[in-house]
Structure formats: C-alpha cells, structure tokens
Amino acid sequence: MRRIPTHVLLIASCSTVALLGGCRAVGPDYAGPPPAPAAPTFARAGDLAGAIPAAAPARWWAALGDPALDRLEERAWRANPNLDVARARLRQARAGLRGAHANALPNGTATALAAHARLPPAGPKPGGSGAGFQLPSSLNLYSVGFDATWEIDLFGGQRRATEAADASAQAAAANLADAQVSLAAEVAQAYVQLRATQARMALADAAIAREQRIVDLTRRRVQGGTASELDLARLQGQLEAARAEAEPLAAQLDADRDALAVLAGAAPGALDGELAAADPAGVDAVPLPPASVPVGDPAGLLRRRPDVRAAERLLAARTAQVGQSEAARFPHVTLLGLIGIGGTHLSDLARLDDYSAIAAPQLRWNVLDFGRNRARVDQAEGARAEAEAEYRAAVLDALRDAEDALARFRRGRTTLAAVARARAAAAQAAVLTQARQRAGTASVIDVLDTERQLLAADQNLAAARAALTADFIALQKALGLGWTDAAPAMAGPP
C-alpha cells in the first residue's frame, strides 16, 4: 500500500480542523519572562523599609508639602511635549493592534465598471467572397460586482501577528508610564534646584551685608587710628569677592525658571511671575521629604517599574514574531469569492437573476525559497534572544538604581542631621559672642566673625537640604513611582 506523504496529511488535517476552529499556532508560546534575581528585601534599605500600598502613589511629590510644586507637576502632565510624544506612540500602537485584528477577517471589495471600447471589424470585408458578416466596431460594457478573499489562518500566522501587536501596544503603554515617571522627577528636581538657588541668593545677600558692615566698622577704626589701611584693603577685597560670587546666582535663577517653564510646556520666561509670587526665602526655601518613606520590596519594584514592564512586553512581542515567521514557511489557503451582474446595456444591471458567481480556494506554498524563510525565522529568533537579554539588563539596572538611591538617601539623612547640629553649634557660638560683646569681653569684629561662621553653616545646611530632597526624588523615580494607567493618562493628570 502506498504511503501518503506527511505534509499532505498535515495540510488535510489542518484544513479539516480549520473548519472547526483552526490549527494550533506554530512557534513558541510565550511562557513569561526569565526569573528575576530579586532578593526578599533591599540590601541598602536599612531603617527605610516599609510597605508600599497596592496602588503605587502617582502623586508622590505631594509628600513634599509644596503647593507650587503640585501645580507645576499637574501643568507638566498636561502640556509637556515629550509626554505627548509617548501618548502619540501609544495611539499608533493601539491602531496597529486594531489593524492586526482586522487582518484576520475577510476582505471584501465592491466594484463598478462602465466601459466603451472601439474594436476593429472582424470577419470578411464587404464585397469579399463567402457569406459576409462583421462584428460591431464599438462595444459598451457595464458591470457591478462584489468580491471577497479570506486567508484561513491554518498555522496561526495571523494569531501570532495579533499577539505581537497586542504586546507592542502594552509596551507602548509602559513607555508612556515611564515618560510620566521621568517627567515627574525632572520637574521636582528642577523645582528643588530653583529653591536651592534662591536660598543661596538670600544667604549671599546676607553675606554681602555682613562684609559691608565689617568694612564700614574697619573704616571707622582706621579713622580712629585703631586699624590699618592694610586691614581695610583686605576686608574690602573680601566684600568684592562676596559680590562676585553672588552675580552668577541671578543667571542661574533665570536658567532654573526657564527649565521649569519648558518642562511645563511653556516658553522660557512664561512662568516667572507665577514662580516669583510663590518664592520663599532663606534656608527653608527647599522643601524637605517626609520623615517616613516606604520602599516596598524588590519583587514589587520589578512589577511596578514601567521600563521593566516595557522590556517584558517587548520580549512577548518578539516571541510571537518567531511564530509569525514560522507560519510563513507553511502553505497558505485563501478562499476567493466573486458575484456580479452586468452586460452591454445599462438595463442589464437590473437583471438580478442573470448573474455571475465564482468561488474558489487557492493554495500557495513557496516550496523553493532557497532558505529565505528559514533565514527570517533565524532572524526572529535572534531578535527574541536580544529582547530577553535586554529584559535581564533592565531588571538588573532597576535593582541597582533602587539600591543606589536608597544608599544615597539614607546617607543624605545622616549628613543633614550632622550639618544641622553644626549649624546649631554655630548659632550658639554667635549668641555667646554677642553676650560677651555686651559684657565688654569681645569686640564687634568677634561678633561679625561668628556671624560669618553662622552664615557658612546656613549655606551648608541649605545645600544639605537640597541634596537630601534631590535624593528623595531620585528614590521615587528608582522605585518606579509617578505614573497612572495609560487610559486615564490620555485625559490629564491623576
């Protein structure tokens, strides 16, 4: 008995199953990402460990307690152009998913034709031998019809394409969330930089005023013969140096305001009035993070970080594309159908009982491609391997970001506490020196010198506050906080 070839049996069986629901899709089924090397707790968390709520806080910046920052964040969420780019890419990906769903359905086309043709005469010419006949030299043709094609998804190529488009749309949504996380951190960092510059300007003005008082006092002492011209010249140089150090701060303040305006989707200078109206002064210009900062665990971090989610969805898309390439190696069966009416007169279009109909299956199989399909499969498998490596790298980068941010924030809190104690000591020294000056055991120069030390301590405290708040912002970004689901994000801030 002659054996039937295996590929013929496969085609026959799949054709039968397709009528009942379709064959199993070829290619690998996505089974999830590779295991992540996540520990139960963060190694650098220390006493910062806490439980993150089930719904990660999208508005983490509200913990800084600064209404001006809240307004800037919401404005940036609505108007930042980079966020609009991510939203547009999400719309494109979702449109591609709708197209992939549509490609699995039949394709129908309605046609209408009205033609006039002039033809050369056929048959014996007049006057020739034999019975004379001649076809008309012109012809009208009218036709109305409808044709449809449907490629049966025998080996799951269309299903894999839909899976890939779905995963790509989800990756685009994760990329939008990642853009939200980055934008929230950038706005907060720019705002902290602005307030830190303002604090430095206020302290620089105080330093200039103090140096001016010392110069004035020394000038009077020179006039009284208790100080030399050298002392006055030296102190005058210190005054000019303090003024020189203050000048760049004004330019830095304008640059900070411009950075915030651009992040909020406005032209540079557009927010100067709004920011000036809310300007605090002194060291307290920089907002401080809350005393309690929950950080969760590494597993929750990996589920929450949008860049890790985007990498995982890209891996799912690349896995589906391997199956899509595999399906291209097998036969394609397309059902063709056509129905139409027509004739040589317009009245023929009304003869509905006189119609033409064609129904035919079509089999296409590229059996001689010299390895082109195999090369496409190898290329898809290579792209999947690349996506898997990128996912592993994204996981490790996310864990490292979080651990580094935790370490910096913890050390920043310790540094701020030490600087605050130093500032308190400088303030106490200034009070004691003033008491000695009133008792006649210390000079005015001694008092001004302790004020200089107190001012330096204030500058160190302002810098430490700004550094700690910047570390807090970096920690929120590393933890993947500051985003909402793609659907609400299309409409505005959370």
**pLDDT digits 0-9 by tens, 95-149:** 998 888 888 888 888 888 788 877 666 556 555 555 555 555 677 887 888 888 8
The residue ranking higher by pLDDT, 282 or 413, is 413
Query: How much is the pLDDT for 135?
Result: 54
Lowest-confidence segment of 6-10, 448-452, 466-470 by average pLDDT = 6-10
Q: How many domains does the chain have?
A: 1
Q: Average pLDDT, stretch 151-171?
A: 88
Q: Average pLDDT, stretch 323-334?
A: 85
For the chain, what percent of residues have pLDDT higher than 90?
Answer: 32
Task: Give the DSSP H or E segment for 341.
Answer: strand 332-343
Q: Please give the C-alpha separations between residue 300 and each of 83, 204, 295, in angstroms, as whole numbers.
A: 25, 45, 9
Q: How far apart are CA 114 and CA 373, in angstroms?
A: 43
Task: Please say if the pLDDT value at position 474 is more than 50.
Answer: yes
339 phi and psi angles, rounded to 5 deg: -140, 135
Most confident residue range from 83-87, 126-130, 338-342: 83-87
Question: Is 140 part of any domain?
Answer: no
Please name the amino acid found at residue 196.
Answer: A
The residue ranking higher by pLDDT, 235 or 490, is 235
Q: Given pLDDT bands bounded at 50, 70 and 90, which one contains residue 332?
A: confident
The residue ranking higher by pLDDT, 25 or 134, is 25
Q: Where are the beta strands (DSSP E) in 119-260?
A: 138-152
Q: How far apart are CA 15 and CA 17, in angstroms?
A: 6
Lowest-confidence segment of 353-357, 360-364, 405-409 by average pLDDT = 353-357
Q: Average pLDDT, stretch 419-423?
A: 92
Per the prediction, the chain carries an average pLDDT of 82
Q: How wide is the angle at C-alpha 288 spanned by C-alphas 287 and 291, nearest 5°?
A: 150
Q: Given pLDDT bands bounded at 50, 70 and 90, which one contains residue 396?
A: very high
Query: How much is the pLDDT for 215?
Result: 86
Question: Is 113 part of any domain?
Answer: no
We report the CATH number of the domain holding residue 175 as 1.20.1600.10
Query: How much is the pLDDT for 293?
Result: 84
**pLDDT (tens digit per residue) in 193-235:** 999 988 888 888 888 888 888 888 888 888 888 778 887 888 8
Query: How much is the pLDDT for 372?
Result: 84
Q: Please give the C-alpha separations between residue 205 and each of 64, 210, 211, 332, 421, in angstroms, as whole numbers.
A: 27, 9, 10, 80, 24
Question: Is 21 part of any domain?
Answer: no
147, β-bridge pairs: 109, 338
Lowest-confidence segment of 211-220, 426-435, 440-449 by average pLDDT = 440-449
Please name the amino acid found at residue 261.
Answer: A
Task: Please say if the pLDDT value at position 172 is more than 70.
Answer: yes
Q: Average pLDDT, stretch 434-448?
A: 81
Q: Given pLDDT bands bounded at 50, 70 and 90, which one contains residue 310?
A: very high
Task: Please say if the pLDDT value at position 20 is more than 50.
Answer: no
Please, are residues 202 and 436 in contact by the beta-carbon 8 Å criterion?
Answer: no
Query: How much is the pLDDT for 18?
Result: 45
Question: Is 111 part of any domain?
Answer: no
Q: Average pLDDT, stretch 358-379?
A: 83
Question: Is 101 part of any domain?
Answer: yes
Domain of 89, in residue numbers: 29-106+156-328+375-491
Question: Is 333 part of any domain?
Answer: no
* Structure-token pair, residue 414: 């310790």
Q: How wide is the angle at C-alpha 180 spanned by C-alphas 178 and 186, nearest 5°?
A: 105
Query: How much is the pLDDT for 188?
Result: 95
Query: How much is the pLDDT for 281?
Result: 57
Most confident residue range from 6-20, 64-78, 136-150, 241-255: 64-78
Q: Average pLDDT, stretch 149-166?
A: 86
Question: Is 133 part of any domain?
Answer: no
Q: What is the pTM of this model?
A: 0.80
Task: Please say if the pLDDT value at position 399 is more than 90.
Answer: yes
Please, are residues 321 and 164 in contact by the beta-carbon 8 Å criterion?
Answer: yes
Question: Is 147 part of any domain?
Answer: no
Residue with the two structure tokens 């806490």: 50
Query: How much is the pLDDT for 2?
Result: 41
Query: How much is the pLDDT for 277?
Result: 64
461, β-bridge pairs: none
**pLDDT (tens digit per residue) in 245-288:** 888 888 888 899 999 999 999 999 888 888 876 666 556 778 89
